[in-house]
Amino acid sequence: MMNEHSRTGSPLGRRQALAMLGGVVLSGLSPARWAHAGGAVASALAFDGGALVVAGAQVWRHDLSGGASATFPTPRAHIRALACHPARTGRLFAALEGGGLDRSDDGGRTWHPASGGLPMPQVTAVATAAGAPDTVYAAVAGDGLWRSEDAGENWSFVMDRPWIADAEREVLTIASVNLASGMGGIWIYAGTERGLTRVPDCFCRWQDVVAGNAMDALVAGTPPAPETPLPEGEPVLALTSAMAAPERLAAALPSGLWASSDSGVNWAHRSGHVAPALAAHPTEPSRIAAITADEVILSHDSGASWAALPTT
């Protein structure tokens, strides 16, 4: 069997070529510009303790209780995606533009590399495991899903990219959703360039989002089709699940922001905002933040209404 880590320094192969192509495809899915926070372009956000962290060309930390905001320098490169876990306040993981992943243990003030063994192509999405604060997942363009069980010190390949409509599809966003998979673990949901999918965290196979777990599907035979699924074929740009209410999901598509209250089976269109980043508050599931082309917006009612945050 090929040594997973040997991929990092190998000559350009099929995977690397696909990764480069994936980067081109992914850049085509991104608008030309996004909101500014702290005076710089932002493209990622996360709730960390009592703060909303907005990142991109720099890191902007906004105290949600009405306290002061602070701006910190970016790590080595523009931040493309952020992840954190409520049990590890102050610890942030940042996927960097161009590849690599950094970690901060002080709320975004300082950063250090956390990508030992992770291949160099673009990390397109990052998430922490809902039930294991030190476990982190990263999706690598043209490659697949990687996992670290020691907070980014070491990484190993766990799953190829999803197979949808006769091709492997790029993972644009991932979320660890604390719902039983029926296989002794929980689900990892992924937004791809061709819609939503999910895989149990034992990584046996990507599969459609249907009601219940795998055993429910077995008992029911062919599960009923969702009445109101996400629009077919649209890329899912961002996805989030609140740990306090994992059956409630929010997704950002080119057609706007969508919400689900049944684990992603059925969805309701909540607004026309187009957002590359979403975050749900871990303990207040109705509170959702998003980055749009013009502003950072916050909802306190699961996306039914939004207000812009002052970011300068």
Output the smallest distance, CB 95 to another protein, in A.
21
Output the smallest distance, CB 203 to another protein, in A.
6
- Closer CB to another protein, residue 6 or residue 65? 6
- Closer CB to another protein, residue 113 or residue 185? 185
- Closer CB to another protein, residue 9 or residue 310? 9
For residue 191, the cross-strand partners are 173, 196
Q: Residue 69 corresponds to which amino acid?
A: S
Output the smallest distance, CB 206 to another protein, in A.
9
Calculate ∠ Cα 58-154-3, nearest 5°: 125
Output the smallest distance, CB 157 to another protein, in A.
6
- Closer CB to another protein, residue 159 or residue 242? 159
Residue numbers at the binding site for another protein (CB under 8 A): 1-2, 144, 157-161, 163, 166-168, 182-185, 200, 202-205, 207-208, 214-215, 217-219, 222-223
Output the smallest distance, CB 222 to another protein, in A.
5
- Closer CB to another protein, residue 144 or residue 235? 144
